[in-house]
């Protein structure tokens, strides 16, 4: 069976220090089995590797989900970085062209994208309280102690090594007894020997022909992803996954700062690769990151509070209209056409960092507006503007019946998105 667990290989190996333990863990990391898995086989692989019931691992992951929120993040990391039983490398390494994996590249990309909300659950709301950090530290400590105590057991063989079922030759180094009657140096029955007749003249053999030498082919150089690239990308993904939810929930943190940290990690990887070799492909990750960081610096989405989500309001009285509607990311739709008192004045402000704002007003209302879309289109009754970093547009419109109707004052602001004000009803 390919990738079978070997209970004797490395049984007497002694691990000296933290670094040796981490390297040996990576070299003999658990493999996700094809049988006995519930989702991807992460818990089953860890249980089989260290001789623990997989149910214990699953219960621990569920507990970490409720206490600290790191359960989904840990499972996704195991799915990405633990190879399958018959795989050459893990799905993430296969995505980088380091070997073969049964997990498709499309699914691997989807798992990488799922890391963002998973790490947001772990660190977004409890980072300052230490819940996610403590949970992740417990996972790392548990794996370290497990490998220190049981890492020599059930070590996985390399994928594709296989086993030989019927062995006809003794193992190398085995002592052979030549004194027995059934010993045969030729390895065949004496009745099957064909000996030459001494009376038969022996014909001289023709000289052997020199075989033609095949043309020498230059070996193809396999293109592998360097360790510098692999480590740098892993750190960049973790920094982005942790920084994004912090920018949406914590004051003093921003998406542009997150993009800057990711870009700094990629830059450090490229500098390191220039000295030790490797890291050339990091430039293709740094360029779009720099573009995103520049856009976020131009449009500070983090300056808009309210968090992600959608607002859809249809107030029926002037008192029901809130003074301020705000979202960091999402949509805001406000319908002011159903207010019962047609003479009641209304004033409100709507702001969204990344998304659209749409406001509907009655045909006869006297509307005063200030609309701005930093990156997008602002279409507010009689005025419109589109582009990047455009100025605020302001104006007024008295409706179809002229001055004297219901007065509505609007202040609308979208960082990245569109702003629209329309009449109807």
Place of tokens 């004045």: 345
What's the mean pLDDT in 54-65? 80
pLDDT digits (tens, 9 = 90+) for 27-57: 888 889 888 888 888 888 888 888 888 888 8
Does residue 169 lie within any of the structural domains?
Answer: no
What's the mean pLDDT in 137-145? 82
Domain closes at, from 156, 186, 201: 156
DSSP secondary-structure letter at 99? S
Asked if 283 and 402 sit in the same domain, the reply is no
Higher per-residue pLDDT: 253 or 395: 395
Return the structure tokens found at 140: 């790392």
Distance CA 102, CA 284 (A): 26
* pLDDT of amino acid 162: 36
* 3-state SS, one letter per residue, for 211-240: CCCCCCCCCCCCCCCCHHHHHHHHHHHHHH
Q: Is the pLDDT confidence value at 368 over 90?
A: yes
Does residue 218 lie within any of the structural domains?
Answer: no
Does residue 197 lie within any of the structural domains?
Answer: no
Domain closes at, from 99, 124, 156: 156
Return the structure tokens found at 185: 């140096």
CA 400 to chain centre: 54
Asked if 292 and 316 sit in the same domain, the reply is no
Does residue 42 lie within any of the structural domains?
Answer: yes
Burial (CB < 10 A; 0-12, 13-18, 19+), residue 361, is buried
* pLDDT of amino acid 128: 38
Asked if 123 and 26 sit in the same domain, the reply is yes
Asked if 262 and 392 sit in the same domain, the reply is no
Asked if 101 and 232 sit in the same domain, the reply is no
Does residue 177 lie within any of the structural domains?
Answer: no
For the chain, how many structural domains are there in total?
3
pLDDT digits (tens, 9 = 90+) for 95-131: 888 888 888 888 888 888 888 877 776 665 443 344 5
Nearest to 283 by CA among 302, 303, 266, 305: 266
Nearest to 225 by CA among 269, 168, 186, 191: 269
Distance CA 68, CA 86 (A): 33
87 is in which domain, residue-wise?
A: 5-156
Domain closes at, from 156, 171, 186: 156
Asked if 279 contacts 230 with a C-beta cutoff of 8 angstroms, the reply is no
Does residue 170 lie within any of the structural domains?
Answer: no
The greatest distance separating any two alpha carbons of the chain, rounded to the nearest whole angstrom, comes to 136
Asked if 35 and 111 sit in the same domain, the reply is yes
Q: What's this model's pTM, rounded to 2 decimal places?
A: 0.40
Q: What are phi and psi of 356, to 5 degrees?
A: -120, 155
Distance CA 102, CA 281 (A): 24
Does residue 9 lie within any of the structural domains?
Answer: yes
Distance CA 397, CA 188 (A): 107
Asked if 10 and 151 sit in the same domain, the reply is yes
Asked if 11 and 130 sit in the same domain, the reply is yes
Does residue 200 lie within any of the structural domains?
Answer: no
Higher per-residue pLDDT: 371 or 279: 371
Asked if 284 and 319 sit in the same domain, the reply is no
Asked if 287 and 376 sit in the same domain, the reply is no
* pLDDT of amino acid 141: 82
């Amino acid at each position: 069976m390919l990738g079978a667990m070997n209970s004797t290989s490395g049984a007497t190996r002694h691990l000296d220090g933290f670094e040796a333990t981490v390297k040996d863990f990576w070299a003999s990391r658990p493999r996700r089995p094809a049988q006995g898995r519930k989702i991807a086989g992460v818990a089953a692989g860890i249980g089989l590797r260290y001789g623990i019931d997989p149910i214990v691992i699953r219960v621990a992951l569920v507990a970490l989900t409720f206490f600290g929120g790191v359960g989904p993040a840990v499972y996704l990391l195991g799915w990405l970085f633990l190879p399958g039983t018959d795989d050459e490398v893990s799905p993430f390494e296969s995505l980088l062209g380091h070997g073969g994996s049964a997990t498709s590249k499309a699914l691997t990309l989807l798992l990488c994208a799922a890391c963002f909300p998973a790490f947001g659950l772990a660190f977004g709301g409890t980072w300052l309280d230490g819940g996610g950090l403590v949970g992740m530290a417990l996972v790392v400590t548990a794996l370290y102690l497990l490998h220190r105590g049981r890492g020599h057991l059930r070590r996985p063989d390399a994928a594709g090594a296989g086993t030989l079922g019927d062995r006809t030759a003794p193992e190398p180094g085995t002592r052979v007894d030549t004194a027995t009657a059934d010993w045969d140096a030729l390895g065949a029955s004496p009745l099957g020997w064909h000996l030459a007749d001494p009376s038969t003249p022996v014909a001289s053999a023709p000289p052997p022909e020199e075989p033609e030498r095949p043309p020498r082919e230059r070996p193809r150089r396999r293109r592998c992803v360097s360790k510098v690239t692999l480590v740098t990308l892993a750190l960049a993904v973790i920094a982005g996954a942790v920084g994004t939810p912090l920018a949406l929930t914590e004051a003093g943190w921003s998406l542009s700062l997150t993009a800057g940290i990711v870009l700094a990690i990629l830059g450090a990887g490229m500098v390191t690769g220039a000295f030790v070799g490797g890291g050339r492909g990091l430039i293709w990750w740094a360029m779009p990151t720099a573009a995103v960081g520049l856009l976020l610096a131009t449009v500070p989405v983090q300056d808009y509070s309210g968090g992600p989500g959608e607002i859809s309001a249809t107030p029926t009285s002037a008192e029901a209209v809130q003074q301020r509607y705000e979202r960091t990311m999402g949509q805001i739709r406000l319908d002011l056409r159903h207010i019962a008192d047609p003479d009641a004045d209304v004033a409100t402000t709507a702001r969204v960092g990344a998304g659209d704002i749409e406001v509907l007003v009655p045909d006869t209302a006297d509307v005063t507006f200030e609309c701005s879309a930093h990156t997008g289109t602002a279409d507010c009754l009689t005025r419109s503007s589109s582009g990047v970093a455009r100025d605020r547009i302001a104006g007024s419109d008295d409706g179809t019946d002229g001055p004297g109707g219901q007065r509505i004052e609007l202040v609308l602001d979208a960082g990245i998105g569109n702003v629209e004000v329309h009449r109807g009803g």
